[in-house]
Amino acid sequence: GQQVMQIPQYQHVQEGEDFTTYCNSSTTLSNIQWYKQRPGGHPVFLIQLVKSGEVKKQKRLTFQFGEAKKNSSLHITATQTTDVGTYFCAKAAGNKLTFGGGTRVLVKP
């Protein structure tokens, strides 16, 4: 089936800096979900985007859905050590979720 591609695969960030991770699809998405998995943990739901051009914020995290609904981004400002983990986007069709490969974020103190 169609997948979602995430870039970069790895992100090394200096504490305090900003970074963005991207999720791209070749087909139009009905919605996109984002999850975070801490090292040794399990994926935890962060947010869902449904509308074209939608922007949602959670403290230092900003999620955006592209106008064409084919891509999404997660921007983190002032990165902290608590941001360490792997961030996954997932496309939904009914109650079936297909995950991207994830962006693994490492924070340098």
Buried-exposed string 18-49: b where 16+ CB fall within 10 A, e elsewhere: ebebbbbbeeebebbbbbbeeeeeebeebbeb
Residue closer to other proteins (CB basis): 37 or 77: 37
- Shortest spacing between CB 51 and other proteins, in angstroms: 12
- Shortest spacing between CB 9 and other proteins, in angstroms: 10
| List of residues contacting other proteins (CB under 8 A) | 30-31, 33, 35, 41-45, 48, 50, 88, 90, 92-102
Q: What's the one-letter identity of residue 24? A: N
Residue closer to other proteins (CB basis): 78 or 106: 106
Compute the distance between CA of residue 74 and CA of residue 72 in angstroms, rounded to an integer. 7
Residue closer to other proteins (CB basis): 45 or 78: 45
